[in-house]
Amino acid sequence: MIEFVFMLTHHDATVDGAAAVLESLRGSGLRYVGFKDVGQPVPVLKALCDDAHEQGLEVMLEVVSTSAEDERRSLAAALEIGVDWVLGGTDVEAGLATLEGSDVRYCPFPGRVTGHPSVLGGTLQEIAGHAASLTDRNGVYGVDLLAYRHTSEDPVALTRAVVEAASGPVIAAGSVASLQQIRDLDEAGAWGFTIGGAIFEDQLPGGPGVPGQVKAVLDAIALAPEETA
C-alpha cells in the first residue's frame, strides 16, 4: 500500500494554526505528517513535531530553501525540531554532514530543482540517474521526487523510472491533487506521496474541511487500485 504524508502546508509554506489542524486529525489513522521549513519559526515547528509524536505520527520536514546558506540553516533546524525524516534540499554534502550520526531518514531532491514553489528540471534519464547515484550514498535513505512539478516529462513515467533506478523509497511530492494521481503513483511504485495545498483547498472528494479530505485519501489508499479511480 502506498503511504500518504499529509503536509501542513499551503503554497510551499507551513500554515498558520497547524497545531489545531493536527489536533483535528487525532484518531484519523494518519501515520505520517509533514511541514516545510518556511512559514513558521523553529519553536512553533518543534512544538508541532512534539504534538505529532504524542499522537504516534512520524514527522517529515521538507527543505525548500533557495539558497545554500538557508538550506544549511534548515538542515540544522531539522535536528533541533526533532523530525524523523528530512525531505528535499539540493546540497547533499551539507545534508550528509549535518545529519551524520542522527537517526533522521534523509531523502533529497533528485534532478535540477529551482525556485519557490519548487520546479523540477532535467530529462527523465538524468533524474533517474541522479536518483540512483544519490541512493548509493551512505546516509541517503531515499529521494523526494517533484514528479508533478516537472516542466515537460510525464510524471508517471518519470516516477516509474526513478523507482526502478533508486535503491531507496521514492516519495512523490508537490501538486498531487486527485485520487487518479494517487492511483498512478501507486502503480508506478512510489513508496509514498505528499498532499498539502489540495486538501486545504478542498480539492479531494470528502469534506469539506481537512478531516474529511484526509479521510477520503486514507480510504482511497486502503482500497484496491482499481477501486480508487
Query: pLDDT by residue (tens digit) across 176-193?
Result: 999 999 999 999 999 999
The Cβ of residue 28 has, within 10 Å, a number of other Cβ atoms equal to 14
DSSP β-bridge partners for residue 88: 63
- Give the DSSP letter of residue 130: H
Which pLDDT score is estimated for 224?
45
Query: pLDDT by residue (tens digit) across 114-142?
Result: 887 788 999 999 999 999 999 999 999 99
- Residue 173: give its domain's CATH number: 3.20.20.70
Number of domains in the chain: 1
**pTM, full prediction:** 0.93
Look at 70 and 163; give whichever has higher pLDDT.
163
- Give the DSSP letter of residue 137: S
Q: Give mean pLDDT, residues 75-100.
A: 96
Compute the mean pLDDT over every residue in the chain, rounded to the nearest whole number: 93
Residue 205 predicted with pLDDT over 90: no
Which pLDDT score is estimated for 37?
84
Residue 18 phi/psi, 5-degree rounding, is -60, -35
Which pLDDT score is estimated for 223?
78
Residue 134 phi/psi, 5-degree rounding, is -65, -50
Residue 8 predicted with pLDDT over 50: yes
Find the farthest-apart pair of alpha carbons in the chain and give their distance in angstroms, rounded. 46
Residue 228 predicted with pLDDT over 50: no
How far apart, in whole angstroms, are the C-alpha atoms of residue 149 and residue 172? 10
Instruction: Please say whether the dihedral angle defined by the alpha carbons of residues 23, 24, 26 and 29, taken in this order, is positive or negative.
Output: negative
Q: Give mean pLDDT, residues 74-96.
A: 96
Which pLDDT score is estimated for 227?
42
How far apart, in whole angstroms, are the C-alpha atoms of residue 150 and residue 166? 18
Which pLDDT score is estimated for 117?
74
User: Amino acid identity, residue 19?
Assistant: A
pLDDT cut 70: percent of the chain above it: 97
Burial of 201 (0-12, 13-18, 19+ CB in 10 A): exposed
Domain of residue 100: give its range: 3-227
Query: pLDDT by residue (tens digit) across 143-163?
Result: 999 999 998 999 999 999 999
- Contact between 60 and 141 under an 8 Å Cβ cutoff? The reply is no
Q: Give mean pLDDT, residues 87-97.
A: 95
Extract the C-alpha cell encoding 49.
513535531
Which pLDDT score is estimated for 165?
98
Under the phi-then-psi rule, with left for phi > 0, alpha for psi from -120 to 50, and beta for the rest, what region is 29? left
